[in-house]
Amino acid sequence: NYILGIESSCDDTSAAVFCDDKVLSNIVATQDVHKQYGGVVPELASRAHQQHIVPVVDQALKKAGITKNDLSAIAFTRGPGLMGSLLVGSSFAKSLSLALEIPLIEVNHMQAHLLVHFINDTNSKPPKFPFLGVTISGGHTQIVKVKDYFDMEVIGETLDDAIGEAFDKCGKMFNLPYPAGPQIDKHSKLGDPKKFEFAKPNVKGLDFSFSGLKTSVLYFLQKQTKLNPNFIEENLNDLCASFQSKVVDILISKLNKAVKQTGIKQIAIGGGVSANSGIREALLEKQQNNQWNVFIPKFEYCTDNAAMIGIVGYLKFKQHLFTDLATASKARYAI
């Protein structure tokens, strides 16, 4: 069976074609218009989705070597995300399902970030249920007990900023362009992670907080730039490395706690921040010490993409979990 997946929850328009659990194509059109504003402008995002969606889907079908008439079902992101962006993808998916008379499948974007581990294109095996899913992205930071494909329970989450937001906001303070996460990662590789000490939040249980770290970076920079206006440029690599290592430290300590509390030692990460090299290295170290069994997505499945929607489309298609044309997009949508 051929399944088309469509993702349009934020600022990337993406379409993927699957043959069962195998990816035939995964096309992503990013939107450059937001760079000059230092963040995503929702109104501009929905307009760009409207321009991109038809060519992106055409390209995905072409690369897969099929036509739309070969499709068995169409899956799309129902939420969470920006309402205007979600509406473009869902309206397109509904129209196509109506025109082709094929089933329509709705997908929760955050479930999809974790279910990428079931895409059949690596030699590694997928995690077994139950496992701990870790959604680390631009809008979320959650530890999720994944009992089955569509039975997930959040056991820890951020009380304020998301982890990706922390990267982007602190990166902005370091004068890095949006999205700053990948830039911080790059500069970290050249810096000393022990050079500067930023505050580690003290949050109970499995919840996270990143606003204190952000404030600690802000006050530190204000103090230092008063003494030396070029402080940031002169110390960029060390600032990035020190910040990133603190974030890794926060994440790994919470995961240690979660493993202890649940007895589950399989950790599967997902979301844009799972592309981060510091986080990947720290997890692999845990694996090498035989402490955890870790599952790390391919880079192309970390940030927003339609392959993650396509795999959920396949998993729901198998179970006949279809939706109808009355389904409505959800800006907030629990995992």
Return the SS3 of 15: strand
Of 5, 9, 6, 114, the C-alpha closest to 333 is 9
Instruction: Write the CA distances from 246 to 50, 89, 240, 253, integer angstroms.
Output: 39, 37, 10, 11
Biggest CA-to-CA distance, the chain? 67
Q: Which amino acid is at 257?
A: K
**What is the chain's length?**
335
State in angstroms the smallest separation of the CB of 51 from ligand ATP: 20
Q: Give CA–CA dist 231/235, Å, rounded.
A: 6
Cα–Cα dist 15/21, whole Å:
15
Which residue type does 22 have?
Answer: K
Q: From CA 170, how far away is CA 218, in angstroms rounded?
A: 8
Identify the burial level of 21 via C-beta atoms within 10 angstroms of its C-beta, where 0-12 means exposed, 13-18 middle and 19 or more buried.
middle
**Contact pattern for ligand ATP over residues 120 through 159, marking x by CB under 6 A:** -----------------xxxx-------------------
- Distance from C-alpha of 114 to C-alpha of 228, rounded to nearest angstrom: 44
Q: Quick check: 182 binds ligand ATP (CB under 6 A)?
A: yes
What residues numbered 22-51 form the site for ligand ATP, per CB under 6 A? none
In the complex, residue closest to ligand ATP by CB: 272
Distance (Å) of CA 270 to CA 112, 133, 152, 243: 9, 7, 14, 21
Question: Interface residues for Fe ion in 134-153 (CB under 5 A)?
Answer: 137
Q: Give me the least distance between CB of 27 and Fe ion, in Å please.
A: 17
Smallest separation, CB 98 to ligand ATP (Å): 27
Q: Tell whether 304 is in a known binding site.
A: yes
Give min distance, CB of 268 to ligand ATP, in A: 15
The reply on whether position 303 binds ligand ATP by CB under 6 A is yes
In the bound state with ligand ATP, the residue whose beta carbon lies nearer, of 127 and 171, is: 171
Distance, CA of 95 to CA of 140 (rounded, Å): 30
Least distance from C-beta 164 to Fe ion, angstroms? Answer: 9
Task: Indicate whether 89 belongs to the interface with ligand ATP (CB under 6 A).
Answer: no
CB-nearer residue toward ligand ATP: 204 or 332:
332
Query: Is 12 one of the binding residues for Fe ion (CB under 5 A)?
Result: no
Of the residues 275, 296, 306, 315, which one makes contact with ligand ATP according to CB under 6 A: 275
Pick one of 79, 89, 191, 271: the residue that binds ligand ATP (CB under 6 A). Answer: 271
By the rule CB under 6 A, 276 interacts with ligand ATP: yes
Q: Which stretch binds Fe ion (CB under 5 A): 114-122, 129-137, 173-181, 223-231?
A: 129-137
Site residues (CB under 5 A) for Fe ion, limited to 285-324: 304
Count other Cβ atoms within 10 Å, centred on residue 26: 25
- In 228-268, where does DSSP find H-type helix? 231-262
Q: Which residues bind Fe ion (CB under 5 A)?
A: 137, 304
Q: Which residues bind ligand ATP (CB under 6 A)?
A: 9-10, 80-81, 109, 113, 137-140, 164, 167-168, 179-182, 185, 271-273, 275-276, 303-304
Q: Which residues are annotated as a binding site for Fe cation?
A: 109, 113, 304
